[in-house]
Structure 1
């Protein structure tokens, strides 16, 4: 098939996605688009189609950084420019997941530096993307330090390179678009916030829509040029609107009234920082320009908030991103009441004593009644919470709605130091609901935000799967020693070792003056050590001996704390449970930690204890994963009381089988941690026997999590 892009106008549905891309094209200051969605939903197709609609660029002839002839960058590394200009299409630069830092920002030209003795800078992908589109597919799989670099460049409009003896700054203004499948892992919250807008895309469930998608795609594959010609007029209209909106956007007026509306909505939804306010303001201006208006209106603010707020409301890695349209509508209605017909009322203004009281207003009490909610009185919030007709989000509720007395939850009592975290009691937590096969109660994430998991690491040095848990050889860590290997890039060069290798041969190479004569055989690479992510496989005993409500709630709370720790350290996680007659792989290894939490909540408990089966299934799971991802070392976390009651063969010894299975894990070189969940006055220590067979340390559930400073002070 030819290089013809699928027409932007021919994309079926995905109205929010197309609108978000267009608004960023109109006003690059919006800050980029993050497209979240399941696989096969035309995310990449829509992004590539947009690039074809962007207007052609006038660039300085011969400038590697794409300077605008009308306003060239005075600090451009290629300056001074000789003059002359040329026209080229706007570029779509794709950033591969496996790219390196020097390829992204540029680096010293190592060959010229060694052969000619000059410090020549080789531009990277950020320079190529200037005034175009930088597209990052699977941005959630990109190394964190690379995401930091490209988001900083997108925010500042410049790329600063300080490395390899090179100090360069060049313009890097581009439309940043990232796509991701949440099932493969999430972005860190602080990085998620750096994207201006986010869009959730899903495949249509309507049959007619799906039929149309297939029909158009097959028609495009059969005749790309003919299909593109069919939609050429529609695409040309969109391109013309983008150009007209770009010309108009600087003249669009954002009144103080609409600015206050934006601030009110952001405060109502309790978003962190001020970036949301700025993004909504810029997006509202872009939307007004896109529809041909001269001033921002309430509808522009609504569209902007709907695109800019969903990913900024997450308080926890287990929270689902999104925004309730009803909550947004109610926040806008409340904002309109706050603004009033004549503009906002200053709550600090004292009442005018010459104004007569309104006898029809029950709150206008000349005898000194409670102040009105709009005036910001001290009881306004409590009276609003008692009004069942008001259900909009408040800053204290994080947009979840104002709770009336019937839904008020009292604060949890402070925990004593070392006290295990318990789940908030739900109907299924009660003893009568905890029979065999019942759903396991899961600790509430809000309660678990006060604890931190103990850090476990895998011994030795790994090969460097991206993450922050165990020691590993990486490209970005600290230098530990030189190597005889030839460096692949300038950053890998171990300069002292290279000089030491070349020094003994200077005389026989004919050196007679200053300088150093180097050969390729002298070059030494720097071995670096950093942190890697691991495969953390939870093996959880869900049998009847573990099914006591309080104990299972404690175990689930501990696992959730460990899942949160795995999220922060960029690990893969998997979940094996064993109960009744066998073991089950509840969650195949994945980087989507929130998915693990959902599976954990649906786990069943009760029955006998096939501990050996659980360990053997864990071993098979690790063996399969070792083929798929050989660089990621495993860490098994076994939570059990050790009371095995099911043998792997008829007439066998269940405890002996469990020890034998644990020994097989040790023989495979798998590092295991055993969490002893046994409780009561009489303890058999069976979990310790399994740990000894696996060569694993043993800790108790109480030792698994540690209270943070806030809990310690409260206690």
Structure 2
């Protein structure tokens, strides 16, 4: 693979993404960019190309932390610096998905620090990215505490390493760029808010533009050096414009009128906190500098809102980022001041020119792509979405008789279901586990590098040997076999696999509305507890994996909303499909323990034979130790108790729809407490 980067100016389309990246290159204080889009849209290519446009930086000789010789960091671990310096390109540091905390902030050798008093510190990726670009591909797949760590460093411009009283800190200012595919899971709203700007991208549906993309990529693959040479002049011109905008930035004035518009827009869209106001102000100033102006105009405020607010509009986990353009225009109009000077009239062309061509906007408002001719547009009606949903075959290949999909009931807070025992999976909020977080429950000898020192246990292990080791004075003599590390008990995330009965019996008496509301509530609970989810539906002649295990709870909610009902009840097929899915997931992710949630009334079509087959499938799942919960959807005055029988075969708890609500359980507890107190009295 060639080391020559694809030129930034050779990328076709995606004007909003170009503009957002260039604004952060002009003013890193904007807070970085989160790029959301489908796979294969050149997200990574554009980010890597940006690094080649950044100006070179002067670095103090011998400094591993890229200190500026004109203003060195007084807390730099390599200080004091020599008088010499050298220039080098700004670095692009890429963060792998499986990165650990020590690799990010750097590692401190605790054994040398405590036993010998030596601060042996190895810089991490944050130190390498200082004064450059930190690129996180698939940021939504990182563990939450890792993302928190990165965003804190980006906000403060400094990295801290604290280990048992030993402290190291250094400057860490960088342009933060994250990319993600929403189909693979969303970031929490709290983490979304920490990114300054967000851009939604999708592949163009214009055949001519697609052809140009392919043509340029083939030319680059055939001759990377020659292709880059064709765009060298355009690259140099764009790099010079970035430098000029950086120099102009301190001179840009954010007037009271523009500031009132910024705060009015943030208030009108009811964004939480004040970070949005600050980001919008910085982005508007950067837009003015990019356009070569020394005062912020209304078009700068408008574009800043389009880039800084959409991802801050989410009110629950299933809301898609977005911005109401009509509300934005109305708010700006209400808080604008009339301009009587004809020389200061704003540009009437809302599209402007691309950033590489001299215009500040770089495309139409929002940069929203047109929907494909064969797809379902975002504004599709309920009927269109229903027709776009899956159709399951009935026996013999004939279409299954099905009812129109019903809407889910309102979600609510559910009971907490846990996997029994203690796991060792990814840190989360559901089941007990030994994790990097949580509270300390015991100590042990280090397993690998010492990272979580148990100080008191280490001292206790060393104390009996001090006389034999010739201790003198107050110093404690430590050896490597004295060290103990903490074992912490926290909670892990799990794989929650839903097996949903979508047969005709579930549609009786409008039961499916309540069932979908219950499953939607459990999906929201899984989102809040950082779980992966999967969904199997069974009806007609078999079972279907409607949603392979994923972190995207939003996709699960959408599939649930479009789920039709009708036909027979192949309960055994649903359980066997669940067994197969869990078997494969144990191979892919052996540390993530599963929780099976079976949603059914237990009425298998086929009489006793079908019930016996379902019992055998349940026994197979129980034999593999699968933790399960049966959501009993049976209702009416006459109940057969088949779901309860299934729960017994699964070694699981059976919970009715009424018992699923956390408020109902709390009410039962509160109702029981007074009588208990009276008996005790």
Report the aligned-residue RMSD.
2.6
1:263 aligns with 2:298: no
Give 3-state SS (helix, strand or coil) of 1:613's partner.
helix
Q: Deviations over 1:227-277 (max 9, x none)?
A: 111111111111101110000011011111111121222222222222111
Deviation of 1:72 after TM superposition, in Å, equals 2.1
Match of 2:432 among 437, 457, 471: 471
CA contact (8 A) 1:486 1:523 kept: no
Give 3-state SS (helix, strand or coil) of 1:212's partner.
helix
Give 3-state SS (helix, strand or coil) of 2:134's partner.
strand
Counterpart for residue 412 of structure 1 = none
Counterpart for residue 457 of structure 1 = 418
CA contact (8 A) 2:115 2:479 kept: no
Is 596-605 or 209-218 further displaced after alignment? Answer: 209-218
Deviation of 1:682 after TM superposition, in Å, equals 1.8
CA contact (8 A) 2:532 2:549 kept: yes
Q: Deviations over 1:592-628 (max 9, x none)?
A: 0000000001111122222111111111111122222
Q: Deviations over 1:324-374 (max 9, x none)?
A: 4444334333433xx45589xxxxxxxxxxxxxxxxxxxxxxxxxxxxxxx
- TM-score (structure 1 length as normaliser): 0.81
Counterpart for residue 400 of structure 1 = none
Distance 1:54 1:334, change over 3 A: same
Deviation of 1:47 after TM superposition, in Å, equals 0.8
Distance 1:510 1:695, change over 3 A: same
Counterpart for residue 698 of structure 1 = 654
Counterpart for residue 656 of structure 1 = 612
Distance 1:232 1:164, change over 3 A: farther
Counterpart for residue 323 of structure 1 = 323
Is 283-292 or 323-332 further displaced after alignment? Answer: 323-332
Deviation of 1:698 after TM superposition, in Å, equals 1.1
CA contact (8 A) 1:468 1:569 kept: yes
Deviation of 1:655 after TM superposition, in Å, equals 1.7
In structure 2, runs of 5+ residues without a counterpart are: 342-384, 388-399, 669-681
CA contact (8 A) 2:115 2:477 kept: no
CA distance in 2, matches of 1:711, 1:34: 43
CA contact (8 A) 1:265 1:335 kept: no
CA contact (8 A) 1:442 1:600 kept: no
CA distance in 1, matches of 2:484, 2:49: 45
Q: Deviations over 1:375-405 (max 9, x none)?
A: xxxxxxxxxxxxxxxxxxxxxxxxxxxxxxx
CA distance in 2, matches of 1:708, 1:697: 17
1:672 aligns with 2:628: yes
Counterpart for residue 614 of structure 1 = 574
Distance 1:17 1:594, change over 3 A: same
Counterpart for residue 237 of structure 2 = 237
CA distance in 2, matches of 1:486, 1:627: 24
Match of 1:571 among 515, 525, 531: 531
CA distance in 2, matches of 1:286, 1:103: 33
Give 3-state SS (helix, strand or coil) of 1:459's partner.
coil
CA distance in 2, matches of 1:702, 1:292: 63
CA distance in 1, matches of 2:339, 2:51: 43
Give 3-state SS (helix, strand or coil) of 1:560's partner.
helix
Q: Give the 5 Å matches for 1:52-71.
A: 52-71=52-71
Match of 1:587 among 547, 554, 558: 547
- TM-score (structure 2 length as normaliser): 0.85
CA contact (8 A) 1:139 1:180 kept: yes
Give 3-state SS (helix, strand or coil) of 2:93's partner.
strand
Deviation of 1:487 after TM superposition, in Å, equals 3.4
Give 3-state SS (helix, strand or coil) of 1:94's partner.
strand
1:251 aligns with 2:251: yes
CA distance in 1, matches of 2:83, 2:243: 26
Give 3-state SS (helix, strand or coil) of 2:253's partner.
coil
Q: Give the 5 Å matches for 1:622-661.
A: 622-646=582-606, 653-661=609-617
Is 692-701 or 120-129 further displaced after alignment? Answer: 120-129
In structure 1, runs of 5+ residues without a counterpart are: 344-425, 429-434
Deviation of 1:505 after TM superposition, in Å, equals 5.5
Counterpart for residue 555 of structure 1 = 515
CA contact (8 A) 2:96 2:136 kept: yes
